[in-house]
Structure 1
Amino acid sequence: MSTRALTVEDLRTFNVINEPQLSPDGSCFAFVKQYITDEDEYISHLYVQSTMEQESKQWTFGEGRVGFPRFSPDGRWLVYAAAKGKNAKQQLYLLSMDGGEARQITTLENGASKPIWSPDSKQILFTTAYKVNEAPDLEKKPNDQPEEKKPEPLVVEKLVYKSDAAGFLDGKRQQLAIYQLDTGKLTFLTKADVDHEPGNWSPDGSKIVYSANKEGDEQFISDLYVLDVQSQQAEKLTDSTGFFGSGNFSPDGKTIACFGHEKEYLGATLTRLWTIDIETKERICLTKGHDIYITDAMIGDLRSGHPNPGPVWSADGQKLYATASAHGDTNFCSVDLSGEITELFSGKHHVYGYNINVEENLAVLSVSTPTNPGDIYLFDLDTNKATKVTDVNREWLADLHLSSPEEIRFKSTDGWEVQGWVLKPYGFDKANKYPAILEIHGGPHAMYGNTFFHELQLLAAKGYFVLYSNPRGSHGYGQQFVNACRGDYGGKDYQDLMNFVDATVEKYTAVDTERLGVTGGSYGGFMTNWIVSHTNRFKAAATLRSISNWVSFYGVSDIGYFFTEWEIGSDVLQDPEKLWQHSPLKYVNKIETPLLILHGEQDYRCPMEQAEQLFIALKHRGQETRFVRFPNANHELSRSGPPHLRIARLQELVSWFDSYLTS
């Protein structure tokens, strides 16, 4: 072939672009480009590009990571957050659009992030962390290289005391603050013992909408609040019955649009688009008549925690813009106030970011496909015409062969239709036989689809058929489908996956059924464990950040106390036997498939003990297994972990399957 196969090391060579932002006059846009350096560090910088040109200009330099670029409404300034240095906290920086050096405008001990301009361009709302009733000491500067301290006892008195993202919690909460542009004065708006997530300003700049859970750790909810900036008094808009966030004011300031749901199916409930009348608090679900997931449900391994701008109002206040996920695609759409959904930019792709200038009827969209990590498109809201305006991985892609997915739709055991895809191996020749690997996504309430996925492409490049599908429990196929695995983990979801393998080997006779592998992470790791404890169909398996024992998961996971009840249908306090029935560890004596176990030491979502229990039981039996522990890595290892550990993880995965499936 004239183009080469993808490698593990290619993870270091491509650019990941995020957070496109249009200027107020629509003449240019900013975005963030991330890459990995030779020193094994993530670097991200700010770029600005004219909407009339195809080349961008780099505006920030040096070490560190940049995020959250935001133009001031008057077009004079660009604010962004940056962490300059390996251990530095993110702070806010201000750039004049007339040119010159960036000016650091915050020096807070616990950093500053998520800047949002007031409509008059005179103030910047942002988040910072501090303990309840302890306003930050403005004289104390952040220390990029904190002094070594002797370890102290950790006193735990709250139900929620750790998180996979933050580790052990230190009592500091995300609070809201304002920076005054003309004076440099900081005003701290909140001080409750909860995390505050900013939405946006009201059109007149007098109010701010935000989301928070003020009902206690036992209540897993998120409410919307409207805060009066002058009095600093907040009014609650929702009734603590569900999850609501990403609030945005209507152009007349009378209505809030938001994303959310009322927990009808707990964690498997479809996210929908809502409006809330600020005066009456009447809440209307605009997408109630559509069996569709609003926002982005796509799963991949290039980006983690990409900011969502929330629903964006049209200039006349008659419709809203957002993304929606269905059948393996995430598309850009509009929803009018009667609830009618119109797909504006649809296709076999993943719209993972958007920013809209409603005055200019213009949008910028971040779009990924299975053969492109991501580029920016300029989208005309009048004509619905999209124009690709970046090509950040042009040179890398030109030299590379990437496999294009081929879709399979099949009937599962009970007649339900399930969607999946197949990547053919590099150098495919239908006259030959090839091994195949089944990949299973996490969640389970997520969606595989038409986005770039380095791990999948890598396995195809190594000579494997790669099989991946959305069994019941996945998003993208309606409420009944995503809810169907709850209380039935290892039941019909397992049958869907086995039926998918059946459909694939029937269609692709080049698949060698004697050389099948299976792997997955999180829920996919649970399902890998379940599969090898219920069938010997696979010659090798690899379980990643997995769940093996729901009984212990209840008490050790940062979400275990509610997730076991939500997903399995019970918890340790009610019916531990039901948890054990759905635990792969119960069936460990039946496992004969060689199993690779990969797990992050600092994974608090699916803690290390889940891997330890499985490994010890297998080793005790003399079973073929290999256990690899990754230091300084949490549940996000495959997406945002230390680059050298991401490389090592992929090398372990490939080496394991090569040793069992290629001979």
Structure 2
Amino acid sequence: MTFMAAKFTPEVLLSAPRRSAALPNPSGTRALYTVSSYSFESHSKTSQISVLDITSGQSQLLLEQERISEPTWLSDDDFLYLRGNDEGTTSLLVTRASSHSTGGYILASIDAAVSNIKVKKLANGSFALAFTALASPEGRLVNPGEKKPYSTAKVYSSLFVRHWDTWLTENRSSVWYSALEKRGNKYSLAAKGFVNALAGQDLECPVPPFGGSGDFDIGPAGLVFVSKDPKLCPATYTKTDLYFVPLTTFTESSPPSPKIVTTPGLEGYTNSPTFSHCGQKVAFTRMRNKQYESDKPRLLLLPDISDLGKVEEFYATDDGEGGWDIRPEGAIWSADDASLFVTAEQTARTLIFSLPAKPADAKDLPSVLKSPDGSVGAVRQLADGSSKLLVTSSSLVDNSCFSVVDPSHGTATIISSISKQGKTFGLSRSSCGDITFKGAGDYDVHALVMRPSSFNHSKKYPLAFLIHGGPQGAWGDSWSTRWNPAIFAEQGYVVVCPNPTGSTGYGMALENGIKGQWGGRPYDDLVKCFEYIAENMPYVDIDRAVALGASYGGYMINWIQGHPLGRKFKALVCHDGVYSTLNQWSSEELFFPIHDFEGTIYDNRAGYEKWDPARFVNEWATPQLIIHNELDYRLPITEGLSPFNILQSKGIPSKLLMFPDENHWVLKPENSFVWHREVLGWINKYAGIDQDQDQLAVVESMTKATSI
């Protein structure tokens, strides 16, 4: 039986092609990107590499194989890419976009899992190449598929024994380099093998668990990378430093020891180092606080790579707070190195800002470049020497958009967008909106709103109230396969996604206001939001409201359960949430509760107890679905089992959904499908929404979850 969706459903969401950022060739005529998709009929994933013609907007499939990724141009036609193999090894292959049918030839076979490949053409015509892979304590490549020990015991004698979803071992990620040269029609390694740039150092790059290619960069003078301070415990400190390894040919068999870049007064996370085109300057970001993961990043410039002690800050102020009240994420250089294009979040969108490349010249706050609706994900220079940019973005109704942005003319031209497929299922900008209301104090709070594609102002729709995680995070005008507002809207809800105290993109005062206030100001803001909806959105049926949240949003669901707002909802959904703040020290990154709860649990137990949802279980009464995963080391499984046991013992309608092979997120398509089935089934039952029985039958046949 084949099910053809008539509207935007979880199956459509999870089966839709997922495109990577577009990478232009040197002349800016074509761009490479990958496409991955999942079939629920064959229960398999496909991986493709395609090329986009920048002028026509037409794409051509180049390769379709298992585990191919990261295509990277070597010339206007030649590109290399990675292919993962069953033995835990990686093949580095080279082919041509114009004659790709053979799949090319193997440049190197690497006895490790490789990722984050980067290439830079050098003055002598060769290419510097770098990638990341695991290294042993001796500095050798590690193949995770190698023979396992007979015992599974793990012994630790210091803090930080596991992270995100992995128990730590002695192996660490490292940056490896080599050089390529072209001889005739083929490329080859200019030296034997690959060199570990961090060998002999107690350093790691990328920074786990989410570090990637943005944690290092290569230029004609060498490579720069970010690493945790090895002298500080990673469980209690966030300090990462920028290092420079001088290299001239990238064939050096013994690299110089990394040299640290000093930034007096700034000791927090360092991110996104980027060489200028001339190779002598580096732009990067750094936070001030070394025990706060969500501090404001400052945009910095290293004017001369030969002087690592001279770093300049953009928009610096005497009080150290900085004059630009925004969080820059990353930067690229203009073709002439005179300007920087910086991405940053602002009012639920990620935008591109333009500013002079010298802090002394940046007297006015950055200007915003025109870009398509939604949020920018990646920015590339369109071509060598070009002033135009190739931008990859997404929105609430478009999971991938490629466009050309011209800063000099203030234009943004869409080349390729998947939104046309979305329109087939009714997705359009007309369904999107927002509201602004007064928060608990003298400040405004913003919320995104999404309505069903069949929306009629004369009708009333139940409310789906979504609470984001973080807590230093935000709902944005961007695509998600985990929490997609359109999925809920197409069930027949008006979806409201508030960004209360603690949210990013609205200035540091609102973001930092959550410190010591987990169940205070954010909860009060959500109450104000609910009241605003009741008073100003007559098409919303608040008597059929449901609320859902994950991570901190899951904490807030548990907090709401014990407070008056919890009685306003027909049902609640808590995904990987905090049941008791007293259990926060079972997590791995202890700097997080130390900051948000204003001290350690033994120095400030009252601060943890004040905002503990478990204190109010006597008030719990609303039906609740709880989802928790075994590999969630950020919030261990007991944080889901405890509230479920409470709900069951009190006789409150409740259900537990657990995935033994997922971490803080549900990423596997089949698991995500079950997640959507259970979540939508739960809220629809209590909101009184009738489900398509034919569709449910298909969903049941496609999933084999154990139900007790």
Check whether TM > 0.5: yes
1:656 maps to which of 682, 687, 699? 682
| 2:583 is the counterpart of 1:557 | no
Distance between the aligned counterparts of 1:264 and 1:291, measured in 2?
A: 19
Report the count of equivalent residues: 631
Q: How does 1:505-524 map to 2 (within 5 A)?
A: 505-524=534-553
Q: In the TM superposition, what whole-angstrom CA distance separates every residue of 1:491-541 from its partner, at most 9, and x where no partner exists? A: 011111111111112121122222111111011111111111112221210
Distance between the aligned counterparts of 2:313 and 2:620, measured in 1?
A: 47
1:539 maps to which of 570, 580, 585? 570
In the TM superposition, residue 377 of structure 1 has moved relative to its aligned partner by 0.7
- Give the structure 1 partner of residue 310 of structure 2: 282
In the TM superposition, residue 418 of structure 1 has moved relative to its aligned partner by 0.6
Distance between the aligned counterparts of 1:52 and 1:352, measured in 2?
A: 21
Distance between the aligned counterparts of 1:607 and 1:89, measured in 2?
A: 32
Equivalent AA in structure 2 for residue 125 of structure 1: A
Equivalent AA in structure 1 for residue 205 of structure 2: H
- Give the structure 1 partner of residue 184 of structure 2: none
Distance between the aligned counterparts of 1:514 and 1:395, measured in 2?
A: 34
- Give the structure 1 partner of residue 245 of structure 2: 227
Q: Which moves more between the two structures, 394-403 or 280-289?
A: 394-403
Residues 133/115 of structure 1: CA separation in 2 closer, same or farther (3 Å cut): same
| 2:477 is the counterpart of 1:450 | yes
- Give the structure 1 partner of residue 140 of structure 2: 135
Contact 2:403/2:414 (CA < 8 Å) preserved in 1? yes
| 2:377 is the counterpart of 1:352 | yes
In the TM superposition, residue 625 of structure 1 has moved relative to its aligned partner by 1.5
Equivalent AA in structure 1 for residue 202 of structure 2: D
- Give the structure 2 partner of residue 292 of structure 1: 326
1:643 maps to which of 666, 669, 674? 669
Contact 1:92/1:113 (CA < 8 Å) preserved in 2? no
Q: In the TM superposition, what whole-angstrom CA distance separates every residue of 1:108-136 from its partner, at most 9, and x where no partner exists? A: 33311111113324331111111222423
In the TM superposition, residue 470 of structure 1 has moved relative to its aligned partner by 0.7
Residues 570/8 of structure 1: CA separation in 2 closer, same or farther (3 Å cut): same
| 2:333 is the counterpart of 1:313 | yes
Q: In the TM superposition, what whole-angstrom CA distance separates every residue of 1:576-601 from its partner, at most 9, and x where no partner exists? A: 23212212112112111111101122
In the TM superposition, residue 393 of structure 1 has moved relative to its aligned partner by 5.4
Contact 1:42/1:65 (CA < 8 Å) preserved in 2? no
In the TM superposition, residue 64 of structure 1 has moved relative to its aligned partner by 2.2
- Give the structure 2 partner of residue 58 of structure 1: 61
- Give the structure 1 partner of residue 579 of structure 2: 548
Equivalent AA in structure 1 for residue 583 of structure 2: S
- Give the structure 1 partner of residue 692 of structure 2: none
Distance between the aligned counterparts of 2:400 and 2:8, measured in 1?
A: 17
SS across alignment from 2:27: coil
SS across alignment from 2:121: coil
Q: In the TM superposition, what whole-angstrom CA distance separates every residue of 1:401-445 from its partner, at most 9, and x where no partner exists? A: 456222111112323101112222353333333211110111111
Distance between the aligned counterparts of 1:463 and 1:636, measured in 2?
A: 25
- Structure 1: gaps (5+ residues): 296-309
Q: In the TM superposition, what whole-angstrom CA distance separates every residue of 1:622-647 from its partner, at most 9, and x where no partner exists? A: 2221111012111121xxx1101101
In the TM superposition, residue 89 of structure 1 has moved relative to its aligned partner by 5.3
SS across alignment from 1:118: strand
Contact 1:26/1:362 (CA < 8 Å) preserved in 2? no
Equivalent AA in structure 2 for residue 591 of structure 1: W
Distance between the aligned counterparts of 2:313 and 2:473, measured in 1?
A: 22
SS across alignment from 2:117: strand
- Give the structure 2 partner of residue 238 of structure 1: 262
Q: In the TM superposition, what whole-angstrom CA distance separates every residue of 1:531-586 from its partner, at most 9, and x where no partner exists? A: 111122212100001111122221x2222x21111112122232223212212112
- Structure 2: gaps (5+ residues): 182-187, 207-214, 316-321, 690-708
- Give the structure 2 partner of residue 301 of structure 1: none
In the TM superposition, residue 331 of structure 1 has moved relative to its aligned partner by 1.2
Equivalent AA in structure 2 for residue 118 of structure 1: K
Contact 1:91/1:111 (CA < 8 Å) preserved in 2? no
Contact 1:22/1:363 (CA < 8 Å) preserved in 2? no
Distance between the aligned counterparts of 1:412 and 1:89, measured in 2?
A: 53
Q: In the TM superposition, what whole-angstrom CA distance separates every residue of 1:255-280 from its partner, at most 9, and x where no partner exists? A: 32102221288233222321124315
Q: In the TM superposition, what whole-angstrom CA distance separates every residue of 1:214-238 from its partner, at most 9, and x where no partner exists? A: 3332432110011023442211003
| 2:208 is the counterpart of 1:208 | no
Residues 608/115 of structure 1: CA separation in 2 closer, same or farther (3 Å cut): same
| 2:129 is the counterpart of 1:124 | yes
Contact 2:404/2:412 (CA < 8 Å) preserved in 1? yes
1:430 maps to which of 452, 457, 461? 457
Q: Which moves more between the two structures, 329-338 or 377-386?
A: 377-386
Residues 551/363 of structure 1: CA separation in 2 closer, same or farther (3 Å cut): same
Residues 4/76 of structure 1: CA separation in 2 closer, same or farther (3 Å cut): closer
- Give the structure 1 partner of residue 352 of structure 2: 332
- Give the structure 1 partner of residue 698 of structure 2: none
Equivalent AA in structure 1 for residue 415 of structure 2: V
Instruction: Give aligned-pair identity as a percent.
Output: 22
Distance between the aligned counterparts of 2:409 and 2:535, measured in 1?
A: 44
Q: Which moves more between the two structures, 646-655 or 265-274?
A: 265-274
Q: Which moves more between the two structures, 270-279 or 410-419?
A: 270-279
SS across alignment from 2:64: coil
In the TM superposition, residue 372 of structure 1 has moved relative to its aligned partner by 1.2
Distance between the aligned counterparts of 2:284 and 2:369, measured in 1?
A: 20
Q: How does 1:171-182 map to 2 (within 5 A)?
A: 171-182=170-181
Q: In the TM superposition, what whole-angstrom CA distance separates every residue of 1:384-412 from its partner, at most 9, and x where no partner exists? A: 32221113453453243456222111112
Q: How does 1:143-182 map to 2 (within 5 A)?
A: 143=145, 150-165=150-165, 167-182=166-181
- Give the structure 2 partner of residue 388 of structure 1: 414
Q: How does 1:82-97 map to 2 (within 5 A)?
A: 82-84=83-85, 88=88, 91-97=91-97
Q: Which moves more between the two structures, 147-156 or 509-518?
A: 147-156
Q: Which moves more between the two structures, 240-249 or 45-54?
A: 240-249
SS across alignment from 1:323: strand
TM-score by length of 2: 0.84
- Give the structure 2 partner of residue 634 of structure 1: 663
SS across alignment from 1:246: strand
- Give the structure 2 partner of residue 300 of structure 1: none
- Give the structure 2 partner of residue 491 of structure 1: 520
Distance between the aligned counterparts of 1:419 and 1:445, measured in 2?
A: 15
Distance between the aligned counterparts of 1:648 and 1:498, measured in 2?
A: 31
Q: Which moves more between the two structures, 343-352 or 389-398?
A: 389-398
Contact 1:173/1:193 (CA < 8 Å) preserved in 2? no
Residues 43/260 of structure 1: CA separation in 2 closer, same or farther (3 Å cut): farther
Residues 662/150 of structure 1: CA separation in 2 closer, same or farther (3 Å cut): farther
Equivalent AA in structure 2 for residue 234 of structure 1: P
- Give the structure 2 partner of residue 473 of structure 1: 502
SS across alignment from 1:651: helix
- Give the structure 2 partner of residue 194 of structure 1: 203
Equivalent AA in structure 2 for residue 221 of structure 1: K
Cα RMSD over matched residues? Answer: 2.4
Equivalent AA in structure 1 for residue 397 of structure 2: T
Distance between the aligned counterparts of 2:284 and 2:45, measured in 1?
A: 32
Residues 221/43 of structure 1: CA separation in 2 closer, same or farther (3 Å cut): farther
| 2:624 is the counterpart of 1:595 | yes
Equivalent AA in structure 2 for residue 349 of structure 1: G
Q: Which moves more between the two structures, 536-545 or 449-458?
A: 449-458
- Give the structure 2 partner of residue 306 of structure 1: none
1:607 maps to which of 630, 636, 640? 636
Contact 1:43/1:65 (CA < 8 Å) preserved in 2? no
Distance between the aligned counterparts of 1:324 and 1:358, measured in 2?
A: 24
Equivalent AA in structure 2 for residue 133 of structure 1: E
